[in-house]
Homo-oligomer: A and B are copies of this chain.
Amino acid sequence: MTTNKQRLIVQKYGGTSVGSPERIREVAKRVARYRNRGDSIVVVLSAMSGETNKLVALINELNPHGSSREKDVVLSTGEQVTIGLLSLALEALDCPAKSYTGTQARLMTDSAFCKARISKIDGSKIQADINAGKVVVVAGFQGVDSEGNITTLGRGGSDTTAVALAVALGADECQIYTDVDGVYTTDPRMVPEAKHIPKLALEEMLEMASQGSKVLQIRAVEFAHKYNMPIRVLSSFDDGDDGKSTLVTREEDIMEEVLVRGVAFNKDEAQLTITGVPDQPGVAFKILGDISSANIEIDMIVQNIATAHNGTDGTTDFTFTVHRNDYDQAMKILNNTGEKLGAKNVSGDDKIAKVSIIGGGMRSHAGVATDMFKALADENINIHMISTSEIKVSVVVDEKYLELAVRSLHEAFDLDKA
């Protein structure tokens, strides 16, 4: 961050960072400071905190089941307000600025209103303004389809806008300003010994985000990962530019590959189990198909064949997790399925938590999972489910053990050491 070469930086500020005129002025000061030392800056903004919720309330009062196209027309106004206001604040600092709505930025999406996917960005107009020395301020969360309809990108949309714009413009770095100064080995509110991580791999961040770390939205990290765009997470509440930050970058750029980078967790899931199902081809589809058809997302899936209590009766057990909000509906569906399939039993538990250890070093190092299970066993924590990927091991435990599990894993893998 101290190079003298002129860089193109995309900076994204979230809702709390632009939550009031005073905060918008602070953002303007930071942007102007970057620009005055020679960087080219493109800013991506969320709506003022609370605004989107206010708009959602109006929508729900009038017609919660109305067309998504019209909802997006309403929802996209929040960001349009902040881009105009920040541009005005920049002008007040003699910093030339120009705002772009999603439509004006030619941020093309499909027509899946409320959850549109970016298909293309024509950055030529923005590039011309950058070349003319202007700060370009783009509305996050929104785009336009080929018919000129306004679309929104859904949850995490503004982060995704920022990364996509950074990719389209060939930026050197995409900076995401939040209310924390980067990524930690685990949530410092749960484990005060949690250590700040100055640098980690995009793959690791991807697993951290999908396992419950709220710092970056997973869609944005996926995008950055796909196009190798370095992301830097910073706090918009730090006054100077020498505050802490986390650079999320290509694995090749990470010197020290650690075994376990951090411990992620979430309490948003519930677990459902169906036992004694006749073990025939297609049984997994029969069980999970009905759940998926109801638009319920399934996270972890475990199938046990021929466990002790099944004996040799040719049946199998199935356990999977869904979002806790979908638990009741999923139980209803699974009970129906159980009856149809002649299952022995259907049960569930929404007092569970998922704990994951994540680290790029796992690829080349065996035994990490075993170390994890041992650390949990030492605390007498029972494991319901296990799921692994190349650089992650996740377990489901009783919710009441969550904090103990996170703390003991954090310590077991020496994450509290410098």
Whether A87 sits at the interface, judged by CB under 8 Å, is yes
A interface residue count range (under 10 / 10 to 19 / 20 to 34 / 35 or more) = 35 or more
Whether A123 sits at the interface, judged by CB under 8 Å, is no
Closest B-chain residue to A82, C-beta based?
Answer: B74
Q: A21-B58, A80-B80, A103-B103 are in contact. Are A85 and B74 (CB under 8 A)?
A: yes
> Across the interface, which residues of B come within 8 angstroms of A81, CB to CB?
55, 58, 74, 77
B77 touches A99 (CB 8 A): no
Whether A336 sits at the interface, judged by CB under 8 Å, is no
> Across the interface, which residues of B come within 8 angstroms of A32, CB to CB?
none
Closest Cβ of chain B to A313, distance in Å, is 53
Q: How many copies does the complex hold?
A: 2
A150 touches B70 (CB 8 A): no
Closest Cβ of chain B to A175, distance in Å, is 22
> Across the interface, which residues of B come within 8 angstroms of A104, CB to CB?
148-150
Closest Cβ of chain B to A80, distance in Å, is 5
Tell me the chain A residues, 51-102 only, with Cβ under 8 Å from chain B.
55, 58-59, 61-63, 65-67, 69-74, 76-77, 80-81, 83-85, 87-89, 91-92, 97-99, 101
> Across the interface, which residues of B come within 8 angstroms of A89, CB to CB?
62-63
* Separation of A65 and B80 alpha carbons in the complex (Å): 19
Residue among A66, A77, A84, A87 with the highest chain B CB neighbour number at 10 A: A84
Residue among A58, A103, A149 with the highest chain B CB neighbour number at 10 A: A58
Whether A232 sits at the interface, judged by CB under 8 Å, is no
> Across the interface, which residues of B come within 8 angstroms of A148, CB to CB?
103-104
Closest B-chain residue to A66, C-beta based?
Answer: B88
Whether A392 sits at the interface, judged by CB under 8 Å, is no
* 5 extra interface residue pairs, beta carbon distance < 8 Å, beyond A74-B80, A77-B80: A63-B91, A77-B81, A80-B80, A101-B150, A104-B150
